[in-house]
Amino acid sequence: MNEQAPIAANPHDGALSRAAHAASMAEYHKDGLRLADAIGNRGPVRFGPDGKLHPDILAAYWKHGYYVFEGVIDAAEVEELRRDVGVMVERAPVAPDATVDAQGRPALGLDYANLPYRLAKPLEDPWGGTDVLGGRHQTQMAQPEADQGAPEYVPFLMYSMCQAMPAGLRVYGHPHLLAIAESINGADFVPYNDAIFVKQPGLGASVSWHQDGVTHWDAPDWDEGSHGFNFQIQLYPTTPGNCLWIVPGTHKTGRVDIKRVVSGNACGDRLPGAIPLVCQPGDVTMVNRQMVHGSFANSSPDLRISITMGFHRRKSVLGAKAALGVEEQGVIYDAKRIDERSAVIAVAIDARRQYYPDETAYTYQPFIGREDEYRFNDETFDAVIRDYSTKDLAI
């Protein structure tokens, strides 16, 4: 599968320039693209007469653990999302403890309960081999040196898009995305969180190989859907050099000893059997959170912006202990907490309905009969959207 010899540049052997890293990946990219082509698992979203995701797509998703939906978000909406994301990127603080952006203005989100930015050093792997996020990033990716003149920090993750970005709130209520979430997780599905991955050309940090879920691996009723899935809405073309990579099928195999796999792999972090999720703007990937996945330092010349939003089965969340970024709250998710976080979907649906009056709005079963309480207006913005990320449902 990975035909190339282990390169000179075994990433952990001394300094590796950005350009050398990019060059070292070329054969791996070709292998991954061949494998991705062989699997397929992509195309426009299709629904059956019952409004559920077409059974062929459902079967393909459960078999391989992912699907690439092509052309879900139209060009005009992509443009609005790019604009709002662009503002967020510009308004990022210049350093983790800074309060101003690169132009000296107050950074966005200083008044949010959770700061909406996670910065990283150019091309670093901030989580690999650390204990953060439940220690799920077991190994470290190659960390090339950025070109001269790179900033000290770059935005890596941006949170709270429903609060910070009008287009972000609207896309959260997208009828096709919510209908897909219902088909996978049931009509009473619940949200997880959202986060925007920013991978700037020649600067974007890596996300070490990992599986997302941390809660249910040893549960007697564990199955391949226990930890839900994440969508990623792609705002720019993604390439093997900047995109998310996955190891198809690993959503079914339980917890993977990634440390052992990587240390036994002649090509280090370039895992065999992995494929790149190459997309066009407006495509949306759906990836099972139990899948082994990650992304390399973006040593390529191409920008990636991925709007990531996750969804769960209600039964996976109700009664579960807060985990991952929510762990320090020390709470057990109860029906009230689930309802409060799910209300963001209800308000997003209405924000979308007001903006796109000709589109058929999604009907979210848990809020049937309560639609008028959750119209998008100043009151619901304050009550439901403001600081909603403090109510995320991570497992």
Ligand X SMILES: O=C(O)CCC(=O)C(=O)O
Q: 203 vs 346, which CB is nearer to ligand X? A: 203
Give residues 134-193 in contact with ligand X (rule: CB under 6 A): none
Q: 293 vs 352, which CB is nearer to ligand X? A: 293
Among 125, 212, 283, 350, binds ligand X (CB under 6 A): 212
Closest separation in Å from C-beta 350 to ligand X: 27
Closest separation in Å from C-beta 394 to ligand X: 11
Q: Please report whether residue 295 would count as binding ligand X according to CB under 6 A.
A: yes
In angstroms, rounded to a whole number, what is the distance separating the alpha carbons of residues 355 and 128? 41
Burial letters for 302-339: b for 16+ Cβ neighbours within 10 Å, e otherwise?
bbbbbbbbbbbbbebbbebebbbbbeeeeeebeeebbe
CB-facing half-sphere around the CA of 377: CA atoms within 13 A? 6
Q: Please report whether residue 308 would count as binding ligand X according to CB under 6 A.
A: yes
Q: 244 vs 320, which CB is nearer to ligand X? A: 244
Q: 61 vs 376, which CB is nearer to ligand X? A: 61
Q: 163 vs 206, which CB is nearer to ligand X? A: 206
Closest separation in Å from C-beta 73 to ligand X: 17
Closest separation in Å from C-beta 371 to ligand X: 31
Closest separation in Å from C-beta 353 to ligand X: 28
DSSP helix/strand/coil, 171: helix
Query: Would you tell me the crossing angle of helices 175-185 and 55-64 to the nearest 10 degrees?
Result: 60
Q: Please report whether residue 207 would count as binding ligand X according to CB under 6 A.
A: yes
DSSP 79-99: HHHHHHHHHHHHTS-SSTT--
Among 293, 312, 314, 352, binds ligand X (CB under 6 A): 293
Cα-Cα-Cα-Cα torsion 50, 185, 158, 392, nearest 10 degrees, comes to: 130
Q: 60 vs 309, which CB is nearer to ligand X? A: 309
For residue 28, give both structure tokens. Answer: 């791996």
Among 230, 285, 288, 380, binds ligand X (CB under 6 A): 230
Q: Please report whether residue 197 would count as binding ligand X according to CB under 6 A.
A: yes
The strands making up 245-247's β-sheet, listed across from edge to edge, are: 207-210, 292-295, 245-247, 275-276
Instruction: With CA atoms as reference, report the closest residue to 93 among 168, 156, 146, 164.
Output: 156
Residue 313 and residue 366 in contact, taking contact as beta carbons nearer than 8 Å: no
From residue 231 to residue 270, the character string flagging contacts with ligand X as x (rule: CB under 6 A) and all else as - is -------------x--------------------------
For residue 86, give both structure tokens. Answer: 């662009």
Q: 197 vs 374, which CB is nearer to ligand X? A: 197
Q: Which residue is nearest to ligand X (CB)?
A: 295
Q: 251 vs 293, which CB is nearer to ligand X? A: 293
DSSP summary character for residue 384 = I
Q: Please report whether residue 306 would count as binding ligand X according to CB under 6 A.
A: yes
In angstroms, rounded to a whole number, what is the distance separating the alpha carbons of residues 22 and 381? 44
Closest separation in Å from C-beta 321 to ligand X: 20
* Contacts with ligand X, residue ranges (CB under 6 A): 197, 207, 212, 230, 244, 293, 295, 306, 308
